[in-house]
Amino acid sequence: MKTEILETLSYSDKLIISPDMDGFVSAQLINRYNGSTVVGTYDKNILCLAEDVNPTECLFVDCDMNGFVSIGNHMRLKEDGMSNKSFNPNTHYSVNTYSAKFPYATAYLVAFATEVQTSLTDRIRMAFSDSTLQNMEKYGDNMRRWSSRMECDPVSYVIWNTDAIQEEDKKIREIYPNQSFTNKRYGKERYIQTLNEAFLSEQIPHKQLVTGQKYLVDKVGVNTVKRYMSDIISYAEIFTGEYSVTYNQEIEWK
């Protein structure tokens, strides 16, 4: 798995990340590894970019994309539009049941493969990402199974799950009430401005975002996903057999 992750990370030093804690921490770790810079964000149906950025030349991080190179952790269907240069742990290990899916944030894949040094602050932020530490409560057995596949200090931190670690998780939740660093209810200008400010406050190596596009989304069944896969740029299973899909069709966003 480590070799495949590193191959995906080598695709580009220009990153398009999810605009949440997992995306931000992943970007910091990748920058520490190879100097990559954030040039955009993607949040299910909102794509924001710096000037003169071509998404096909970028690596999407903490996103599972069709037609673009990405590293993410959602469950994927067989024979979808995932690039053969992309990495997804569930696809890699042929996971086909939700209860056995990868239960950590994407940042753990990055930390494991790159072997970059992580501080206590990094580990606290990673444990908060996608509520990874809280997943131990319901999915502890699955998390321990996956931990044997990617031994590294940030994973061990979650598996230890001591009272002190849980207390740190409570503290960071008071600092960051939400996982996202922006809000999809914002208009375009405020949405982009909020992200640029967050990049600065969180010390994310980046180029300033200047443009944004919104795409059509829908909730559909698995048969519809398969039928229109060539028109879908991203999708995620939200309940058993029900999917949130994003079509390659721009809609108005002011």
Query: 238 or 8, which is more confident?
Result: 8
Contact assessment for residue 110 and residue 5, using Cβ atoms and an 8 Å cutoff: yes
User: Where residue 79 falls among pLDDT bands split at 50, 70, 90?
Assistant: confident
Contacts 24+ apart (CB under 8 A), 223-231: 225/77, 226/77, 229/66, 229/77, 229/80, 229/81, 230/81
- Tell me if 168 sits within 8 A of 124, measured CB to CB: yes
Residue 141 is part of which domain span?
2-251
Total of domains in the chain: 1
Q: How confident is the model over 5-26, as a mean pLDDT?
A: 98
Instruction: Dump pLDDT digits (tens) for 98-133.
Output: 889 999 999 999 999 999 999 999 999 999 999 999
Q: How confident is the model over 166-210, as pLDDT tens digits?
A: 999 999 999 999 999 999 999 999 999 999 999 999 999 999 999
